[in-house]
Amino acid sequence: NAGVTQTPKFQVLKTGQSMTLQCAQDMNHEYMSWYRQDPGMGLRLIHYSVGAGITDQGEVPNGYNVSRSTTEDFPLRLLSAAPSQTSVYFCASSLGQGSASNTGELFFGEGSRLTVL
Amino acid sequence: GNSVTQMEGPVTLSEEAFLTINCTYTATGYPSLFWYVQYPGEGLQLLLKATKADDKGSNKGFEATYRKETTSFHLEKGSVQVSDSAVYFCALRDSSYKLIFGSGTRLLVRP
DSSP A7-54: E-SEEEE-TT--EEEEEEESS--SEEEEEEEETTTEEEEEEEEEETTE
pLDDT, residue A76, reads: 98
How big is chain B by its Cα radius of gyration, in Å?
13
Residues 6+ apart with CB under 8 A from A62: none
Q: Which residues of chain A have pLDDT under 70?
A: 1, 100-101
- Which chain B residues have a beta carbon less than 8 Å from that of A110? 42-43
**Touching check for B89 and chain A: CB below 8 Å?**
yes
Q: How far is A91 from chain B (nearest CA, A)?
A: 9
Question: Closest chain A residue to B106 measured between Cα atoms?
Answer: A40
Residues 6+ apart with CB under 8 A from A66: A34, A46, A47, A49, A55, A74, A75, A76, A77
pLDDT, residue A40, reads: 76
**Are A43 and B98 within 8 A, CB to CB?**
no
For the segment A67-88, what is each residue's pLDDT rounded down to a tens digit? 999 999 999 999 999 999 999 9
Return the biggest CA–CA distance within chain A: 46
Strand ranges inside chain B, DSSP E: 3-6, 11-14, 19-21, 23-26, 32-38, 44-50, 56-59, 62-65, 75-77, 86-93, 99-101, 105-110
Interface probe, candidates A34, A106, A110, chain B, greatest B C-beta count within 10 A:
A106
For the segment B59-107, what is each residue's pLDDT rounded down to a tens digit? 999 999 999 999 999 999 999 999 999 999 999 998 777 889 999 999 9
User: How would residue B28 be classed by pLDDT, with cut points 50, 70 and 90?
Assistant: confident
Mean pLDDT, chain B, whole residue set: 93
pLDDT, residue A100, reads: 65
The answer to whether the CB of B32 falls within 8 A of the CB of A104 is yes
Q: How far is B37 from chain A (nearest CA, A)?
A: 11
**Touching check for A75 and chain B: CB below 8 Å?**
no
pLDDT, residue A12, reads: 97
pLDDT, residue A21, reads: 98
For residues B75 and B2, which has the higher predicted lDDT (pLDDT)? B75
Name which of B45, B97, B100 is nearest A97 (Cβ-Cβ). Answer: B97
User: How would residue B40 be classed by pLDDT, with cut points 50, 70 and 90?
Assistant: confident
Interface probe, candidates B44, B92, B93, chain A, greatest A C-beta count within 10 A:
B44
pLDDT, residue A78, reads: 96
- Strand A4-7 to B75-77 pairing: unpaired
pLDDT, residue A4, reads: 95
User: How would residue B46 be classed by pLDDT, with cut points 50, 70 and 90?
Assistant: very high
User: Average pLDDT for residues B33-38, to the nearest whole number?
Assistant: 96
**φ and ψ at residue A5, rounded to 5 degrees:** -115, 125
Name which of A31, A40, A103 is nearest B103 (Cβ-Cβ). Answer: A40
